[in-house]
Structure 1
Amino acid sequence: MSEESLTLYKLMVLYMLDNLDFPLTTSQLSEFFVTHGYTSYFHMQQAVNELDESDFIRGELIRNTTHYYLTSHGREALQMFESKISDAIKNDILDYFKENKYQLRKEVNITADYYPLKKGEYMVHAQIKERGTVLMELKINVVSKEQAIAICDKWSEKSDTVYCQIMETLLLND
C-alpha cells in the first residue's frame, strides 16, 4: 500500500468522525471502507492505529469494542488537508451516513459491559446515551458470568423496552 493511499484512508476516517456527533467503532468504519471497495480491513485498521498513536483520534474500549472519537489535533489536521479528499468520496461518506445514521448511532449509544466483583459475582453496567448525555444507566449485580454476558447481549435489543417500562412505572399514576 502506498503512503498516499494510507494518508487518504486516514483523512477519510477523520472526515467520517468530524461529520457525526457520536463515535464510530472499528467494525462500523471497516463496514464502510470494505463495502464501498476503498480498501481492506487490514489497511483501514492500519490507518486507524496510526491516527490513534498520533493522537488524531481517541479510542475508548467498551466490552471488546473500541469507540473512536475525533480529537482537536485530528480536527486541525483534517482542516489543513481536507481538500485531498475528493468530492466523490465525501459524497459516498455522507450518503452512507444518511442511510445508516440511526443504526450507527444506536450501536454506539447503547452499551453494556460487566466486570467481576467478589467471588462469583459480577456487575453489569448498561447505558443509553443520546448526544453524549446519559439518558439511563443501570448497574445490576448478578451471581454468574453467564448471567452478566446474557444481560449484556440482550441490552441492545431490549434497552428501549426497559427504558419505556421504567418511565411508565415511575411517571404514570396507578
Structure 2
Amino acid sequence: MAEPATLYKLIILHMLEHIDFPLSNAQISDFFLDREYTDYFTIQQVIHDLMDSGLVRTENTHNSTRYIITPAGKETLHFFHNKISPSIEEDIAAYFQANKLAIKTENAYLSDYYKTPEQEYGVRCQLREKGRTRLDFTLTVQTKEQAEAICTNWQNQADDVFACLMDLLLK
C-alpha cells in the first residue's frame, strides 16, 4: 500500500484523468472530505505538491482555480495506477456519477474579469460543452461591481443568452 500522501496524489491524478474538463479545488476537496479520506489541509498540501512537481497545472479565474492533469501527470498515473484500490476507483466513479450535473454545470459556464489599460474592466464569458467552446465573448464595463455582477449572472443565464443570440443571429 502506498504512503497516504502518495495515494492522495494518485487519486487526484486519477480523478483528473477520468473527466473531460478541469476540476476545481472545491470539487477535489469535496471528494476527499465527503468520504473522510483526509482533512482539508492535507489535500491542499497534496495539490500544491502536484503543482510543484508539474503533474497538474492550473487554470485561474477571479473566483476559482481549476486543475488539469499534465502529460507528466498522465505518465506518472500510468506507472502507479495499480496503487489505487478498486474500492477507491469505485468511490471516484460514484462521486462523479452523483455529482455529474453539478460538476458539468460549474465547468460549462466560465467567466472572469480583468482591468484594462483604459482603467475599465474586461469581462470574458464562455459557454463550453464537451470540451468545446460554444460561445466566447468579452464585454467592457466601467466598474468592478458591474464586472462581478456579469460574472455571477453568467452562471445562471448563459443558456438563455446563448439561445437569444442564436435566435437573433439566425433570423
Normalising by the smaller structure, the TM-score range is over 0.9
> CA–CA distance in 1 between the matches of 2:41 and 2:107?
22
Note if 1:142 corresponds to 2:141: yes
In structure 2, the partner of 1:28 is 27
> CA–CA distance in 2 between the matches of 1:117 and 1:58?
26
> CA–CA distance in 2 between the matches of 1:8 and 1:124?
39
After the TM superposition, which of the residue ranges 118-127 and 74-83 deviates more from structure 2?
118-127
Q: Within 5 A, what are the aligned runs for 1:61-140?
A: 61-118=60-117, 120-140=119-139
In structure 2, the partner of 1:18 is 17
The 3-state SS of whatever aligns with 1:127 is strand
Amino acid at match of 1:145: K
After the TM superposition, which of the residue ranges 84-93 and 104-113 deviates more from structure 2?
104-113
State the Cα RMSD in Å: 1.4
Number of aligned residue pairs: 170
The 3-state SS of whatever aligns with 1:60 is strand
Amino acid at match of 1:8: L
Q: Shift of the alpha carbon at 1:155?
A: 0.7
- TM-score by structure 2 length? 0.94
Amino acid at match of 2:98: E
> CA–CA distance in 1 between the matches of 2:127 and 2:7?
34
In structure 1, the partner of 2:166 is 167
Identity over aligned pairs, percent: 41
Point out 4+ residue stretches in structure 1 off by more than 6 angstroms: none
Q: Shift of the alpha carbon at 1:70?
A: 0.7
Q: Shift of the alpha carbon at 1:120?
A: 4.8
Q: Answer whether contact 1:120 1:145 (CA < 8 A) is retained.
A: no
Q: Shift of the alpha carbon at 1:118?
A: 4.6
